[in-house]
Structure 1
Amino acid sequence: MTVLIPPRLEPGDRVRVVSPASTPDLDLVARGVEVLTGWGLQVEIGQHVFDSVGYLAGTDEDRLADLNDAFRDPGVRAVFATRGGKGAYRISDQLDFDAVRRDPKPLVGFSDITAVHLSLWKECGLVGIHGAFVHPNDESECALHRVLMSTDEIVIRQDPKELSVGLTDGGPATGFLMGGNLNTVAHAVGGELSSLDGGILLIEDNLGTGLGMIDRQLTQLIKSGLLDGLRGIAVGQFIGFEDERVNGWSVLDVMRDRIDLLDVPVLGGLPIGHGPQPATVPLGTLATIDPAAGTLTVAAGVR
């Protein structure tokens, strides 16, 4: 596969904000726009960003139109998803992939936006950015700035306070990083998800699922064959599972029971996901997990 690494952002660039999934909070979007404007970027808001149809930010047609308009506009140099939620999986197979191939630009998003990242990787080999549009503090805002506006490699350090740190096992492993929200990745089997042969799988999730669903999702991925040749797993935040128990089993017991079948190195405890200060990381570039050092090192997602 030819990997498309988009150009880095420069002050003065136009960027577009869209809502491929659920409707965002107006104040949070205003905060995100303020941050991007402070970087010298010209921020445009997609036509249907604040639309609301049930739990979706407008109809499928309108959300798709906003996303494709951003990819087709040669003046737009990056696309930011306001939030995840639900609904990106409905439109992720209908993107204008030819426009993306002609003019690669980074898409920033996580959670349900994982479906779009997976689709763009499968169809175009486009490197994406797993991260939030709105960040709670200067440190996480600077991390997003670094990922989008520099070609430095990204180093994410294990947080011993994260629940998934207990899954860490094995030696170092290197491969392309791909994945995101576990629920979304599992539901992409048979659709957006392509083979992870030679890759590092990134997973994170929150308590909205439950232990049984975590079991089903990991089992589905293993049975699909798409993890054959996997080189390692990077495990982010599993928010809300700290006290969850079913007949004595915790989420770590469930995950360890499934992941051990793959016999690959695992780096847990990464501050990536739905936590209060989630790290930003490229998807699709070369990454190394080093369980002994507690680090995930990822090549730049822009050039």
Structure 2
Amino acid sequence: MSHPPLLCSGDTIYITAPARALPIDEVQHAIRSIEKFGFKAVVGSTIGTSFHQWSSADWARAADVQTALNNPEVKALFMARGGYGCVRIIDELDFSPLHKYPKWIVGFSDVTVFHAHLWSNFRIVSLHAPMIINFKENTEESIQSIFHQLLTGKGSLSGTVGLPGVAQGPLIGGNLSVLYSLLGSKSFPDLRGAILMLEDLDEYLYHIDRMLYALKRAGVFEGLAGLVVGSFTNMHDNQVPFGYSVSDILLHHFAHRGIPVAFEANIGHHTDQRAFIHGADAVLEVDSIGNWQLRWQLT
């Protein structure tokens, strides 16, 4: 495992939109927050532009991300928003500059493509965190969690609903739908010995079950050390109900594995979500009545 250096006051943060578009006026609040925390914000060429449902054509989005990867002054890339688009450019990017100019990749949702790809191919950690579009609406604690972890390299979450056990391993995961879409590619992470974090948005309940069955049948859950369940927001059902909640579905797939499972983690598509360091060494402890604590840090 390798990780970028922790940020220092005055470091440069580059804002780019590798997926959907974000108008320039919607970036200003985030820039003020970045500056308040003592950093310099640089806006990339994909901010304030649009091409169909994306910020720019594939080549232009890739070029903007590559510009930041190549720049030795840039210490972190803050992704503007998700949606869909990261997978269209991931194979066009040259990540080799990160060996010489390491930097943090920051975002979530569709940015799960970047987190998974960096871990799978280079064992580089990154930050699963709110994005530029979230700065205005998210809670102060949510935004603070981004900078706290970029400055300290550690974090924690806790809750009161879980299945007992103890697990230790790298904290891996993100958006379930995006991970599912990477199955069979060089970007899908090896989950053996890992603590898997999952969240999702705007899916049908049976889709959640189908994705988990596909992952299970592919064998990727074999050797999994633990599971942490974030928010599954705005789930849908059919006119004929599926019959099981998200929790029911997850218990069906993981309760028999004898691993600790933590529910209701403050991760995902909601305004108080917290950041976590993807790939960091983590410990998950769930007691006999379901109280759990998750801690992670860079080593």
- TM-score scaled by length of structure 1: 0.90
**Alignment match of 1:141 (pick from 140, 143, 155):** 143
> Once the 2 structures are TM-superposed, how far is the Cα of residue 246 of structure 1 from its aligned partner?
2.1
RMSD over equivalenced CA pairs, Å = 1.9
- C-alpha contact (below 8 Å) 2:23/2:47 kept by paired residues: no
> Once the 2 structures are TM-superposed, how far is the Cα of residue 249 of structure 1 from its aligned partner?
1.8
> Once the 2 structures are TM-superposed, how far is the Cα of residue 95 of structure 1 from its aligned partner?
2.0
> Partner of 1:179 in structure 2?
173
Deviates further, 228-237 or 90-99 = 90-99
Superposed, 1:1-303 pairs within 5 Å as: 3-133=1-131, 134-135=134-135, 136-151=138-153, 153-158=154-159, 165=161, 168-191=162-185, 192-206=187-201, 208-241=202-235, 246-260=241-255, 262-292=257-287, 293-300=291-298
- C-alpha contact (below 8 Å) 1:119/1:193 kept by paired residues: yes
Identity %: 31
One-letter amino acid of the structure 2 residue matched with residue 266 of structure 1: V
Query: Post-superposition, which runs of at least 4 consecutive aligned residues in structure 1 deviate over 4 A?
Result: 242-245
- CA separation in 2, counterparts of 1:253 and 1:237? 14
Cα deviation, 1:167-224, whole Å, max 9, x if unaligned, reads x212111110111000001111112112111111110012x21111101111111122
- CA separation in 2, counterparts of 1:74 and 1:225? 40
- CA separation in 1, counterparts of 2:212 and 2:276? 22
Aligned length, in residue pairs: 290
Aligned partner of residue 96 in structure 2, secondary structure: helix
> Once the 2 structures are TM-superposed, how far is the Cα of residue 261 of structure 1 from its aligned partner?
5.1
- CA separation in 2, counterparts of 1:258 and 1:228? 12
One-letter amino acid of the structure 1 residue matched with residue 246 of structure 2: V
- C-alpha contact (below 8 Å) 1:93/1:119 kept by paired residues: no
- C-alpha contact (below 8 Å) 1:4/1:104 kept by paired residues: no
- CA separation in 1, counterparts of 2:66 and 2:97? 8
Cα deviation, 1:98-146, whole Å, max 9, x if unaligned, reads 1122222111100000001111111211101000123323222221111
Flag the 1:138–1:126 CA change in 2: closer, same or farther, 3 A: same
- C-alpha contact (below 8 Å) 2:206/2:242 kept by paired residues: no
Q: Can you give the 5+ residue segments of structure 1 that lack an aligned partner in the other structure?
A: none
Aligned partner of residue 77 in structure 2, secondary structure: strand
- CA separation in 1, counterparts of 2:237 and 2:183? 30
- CA separation in 1, counterparts of 2:43 and 2:97? 20
- CA separation in 2, counterparts of 1:27 and 1:156? 33
